[in-house]
Each structure stands twice: as C-alpha cells, then as structure tokens.
Structure 1
Amino acid sequence: MPTVLRKYGFRFHFYSGDRFEPPHIHVEGNGGEAKVWLTEVMLAEAGGFSQRDLARILEVVQEHRQQMLEAWHDYFA
C-alpha cells in the first residue's frame, strides 16, 4: 500500500488491489478512515473523522490532487 503523502497526521495512500476502480486515495489518521475520489475530488466514504477533519482532508486532496493522480497512474501503469 504505497503512501503518497503524510500531512496533518493523516496518511494518504492506495492499495494495490484498487487497480480496477476509478482513481482515488485512502486516508487514515486521528482514528478515522476515508476514501476520496480523485477525478472529481469528492468523498466516497468515511468513518471516524470529525467534520473538521473531513474538510481538511478534502482541502489536502484538492491541493495535492495532481501528485496523487500521477502516483496512481505511475503505480498502476
């Protein structure tokens, strides 16, 4: 499970089995887990995060979206 970024106590990563899904990033930290779509930055699912954490996660994904998409395509190419 390649880690793409660590920021604000969150780890942004994907799983090798994610190949057949649209590009997305998994997020863990602060007792929560989430999945965020990268084509159009949008929360796919989440649990255990506060609304503040979710807002920050979406902000980070938007800021680093290109880096995450490149990592996705490099890994699954």
Structure 2
Amino acid sequence: MKDFPEFMKNESNHIDSGQQNTKDIDGYYYTANDGSQMAFWTCYTDQVSKPHQHPLMNIRSLFLVNIQQLSMKKKLF
C-alpha cells in the first residue's frame, strides 16, 4: 500500500504541520465514540525526527510498533 485511502484523510482530523516533530510528514488522528483513539502518519521522504515524548496513561492496551525491519509487541493488561 503506497498511501492510506482517501476516506481516512478527513481534513477535520488533520494534524497541523506546525505540531509535527518531523519535516515532510502528514498525520491524522481519530477519537471513536467509545473513547478509543487512532493516529497515523505518512512520511514522504527519509527524515530524522526531533527528540520528543508522547506522555500518556494506559489502563489496558496492546502496542504494535513497526520501524523498518524491527517489530515490537507489548501487552499492558
């Protein structure tokens, strides 16, 4: 898949480029009626992201992270 489908790119859910930590990146987020959230980004060129943090609290979740050829899975229950 070269890109996310257009129906996922609602302008009201677009993350402003001034809030991004990486150049040439496009991101969107969604909050569902049940409070669950999803975010996705498209990187158009190879870039190095500025150091940053994502403060959050998890009660119960499953993280799947794929970066290049490295895949990590962590359950928090």
- Determine if the TM-score, normalized by the shorter chain, exceeds 0.5: no
What TM-score comes out, normalization by structure 1 length?
0.29
What TM-score comes out, normalization by structure 2 length?
0.29
Which of these two proteins has the greater Rg computed from alpha carbons?
Answer: 2
